[in-house]
Amino acid sequence: MQLNTILHNAMEMGASDVHLVSGHPPVARLQTVISPLDYPVITPESARRMLEQMCTEDQLKRYDKVKDTDFSYEIPGVARFRVNAHSQKQTVAISLRLIKEKVPPFEELSLPEVVSRLTYLPRGLILVTGDTGSGKSTTLAAMIDAMNRRYHKHIITLEDPVEYTMVSNKCLIEQRELGDDTPSFASGLRHVLRQDPDIILVGEMRDLETTAAAITAAETGHLVLSTLHTVNAHQTVERIVDMYPADQQNQIRSMLANTLKAVVSQTLFKRTDQKGMVPAVEVMLVTAAVRNLIREDRSFEIPNVIETSRALGMNTLDSAIAELYFNGMISREDAIAQAAYPEKLEKALVA
C-alpha cells in the first residue's frame, strides 16, 4: 500500500484530513464527513512502515519513547501535511491534515475586512480562536503573508509543527518548529526577544508559561499573534485569566487590557450553495469600553459591547451565522447547532 498514492488521491477528492489506523482502510474527512477510501485494510506492519517513511530518525525515536508525536510531511511539488502519530491498541495510528502549498489570500477565505486591517497594527496581542479544524492556522498564515508583502520587518514563528512554508518577501521570516528547533513554545519565547523580532507568531498559548511570555512580548512593543481553543471573545479573556493563580488575576487583567488588541473567533460550516467550507467569524476589537470590562472582571458583558459596535467592524458569532444563513450559504440546522445562543438565533432565523 503506497502512502503517497493514498494521500494524493485524498487530496484530489478535496479531503481535509486522512486517518491511517490499523484494522481499517484509510479514511478521509470530506467536508466534515468521515468516509473510508477504496484501499485494503491497514495492517500493523504497514502502518509502521508508513510512519517510518514520513519520519526522520529523531522523530521516530520520539514516537517510540512517548507513543505520541507531531511533525510535518511533504510530498515534493504536491502537498504538505501536518501529522500526528500515536499509539492505539499498541499499534501505530496516523492522522494527517492537508496544508495547502500556497497561503490563500484574504479574498479567498471569506473573512471580514476588519481582519485584514489588523495586520496594520504596530504592536499588541492578536488572538485567533476556535475549535480544532476551524481554520485558525490558515487565517494566521494569511495575516503573516499580508505583512510579508507590505513591510520590511523581522518575523519569527514558533509552530508545532511548521505548517505553511513562508518565503521571505519584503520581510525576513524565520520559522522554528517545536522538537527540532526549540523544545517548547515557552522556551522559544524566552529567547525570542534577543533575536530582534518585530512580529512573533506563537502556534498556541497552551499553558501559563507560554501565555505569560506572549503577553510580555506584546507589552515590550512587539506584534504577537497566537491561538486558543476557545469559541468566542469573552471566553477567551476568561480562559487567559483563569490560567493564573487567584492572587495574580487582577494583575493579569490589567496587563491583558493594555496588550490585547483583538480576538477573532472562527467556526467553519459546510456550504449548501457550492462545495467547500465557509467561516462564521466573531470579531472583538479592544476599545476603551472593552478594556474597562477586562480590567473590572466584567468580561461577561463583552458580547453586548460587540453587538453595539458593528460600525467599528465588530460582530458576534450568532450575527455572523445568521448572515451566512440569510445569504443562502449554510443550512438552518447547522446554523442553530453551532450558535452561541441557539434558541435566540432560531427565533431570529424565522424573521
The whole-angstrom separation of Cα 343 and Cα 139 is 30
Residues 6+ apart with CB under 8 A from 156: 173, 174, 175, 176, 192, 195, 197, 199, 200, 201
pLDDT of residue 77: 76
- Phi-psi category of 276—alpha, beta or left, where left has phi over 0 and alpha has psi -120 to 50? left
pLDDT of residue 101: 74
CA gyration radius, the chain? 21
The whole-angstrom separation of Cα 186 and Cα 170 is 28
Domains of the chain: 3-99 (3.30.450.90), 106-350 (3.40.50.300)
Residues 6+ apart with CB under 8 A from 116: 106, 146
pLDDT of residue 306: 97
Helix residue spans in the chain (DSSP H) = 3-12, 44-54, 57-66, 106-109, 113-117, 136-150, 185-192, 208-219, 233-242, 249-259, 288-295, 302-307, 317-326, 332-337, 342-350
Q: Give me the tens of pLDDT residue by residue for the chain, a chain 351 residues long.
A: 689 999 999 988 889 999 999 999 999 998 888 999 999 999 999 999 999 999 999 899 999 999 999 888 988 877 889 999 999 999 999 999 998 778 888 888 999 999 999 999 999 999 999 998 899 999 999 999 999 999 999 999 999 888 888 999 999 999 999 888 999 999 999 999 999 999 999 999 999 999 999 999 999 999 999 999 999 999 999 999 999 999 999 999 999 999 999 999 999 999 999 888 899 999 999 999 999 999 999 999 999 999 999 999 999 999 999 999 999 999 999 999 999 899 999 999 985
The whole-angstrom separation of Cα 215 and Cα 248 is 14
pLDDT of residue 350: 81
Residues 6+ apart with CB under 8 A from 37: 6, 9, 10, 25, 26, 27, 28
Q: How far apart are the first and last CA of the chain?
A: 54
* Residue position matching grid coordinates 476551524: 134
pLDDT of residue 160: 87
Q: Indicate the residue type of 267.
A: T
The whole-angstrom separation of Cα 212 and Cα 192 is 14
- Phi-psi category of 234—alpha, beta or left, where left has phi over 0 and alpha has psi -120 to 50? alpha
pTM score, whole prediction: 0.87
Contact between residue 131 and residue 229 where contact means Cβ atoms under 8 Å apart: yes
pLDDT of residue 1: 64
| CA count, 13 A, side-chain hemisphere, 21 | 10
Q: Indicate the residue type of 195.
A: Q
pLDDT of residue 351: 58
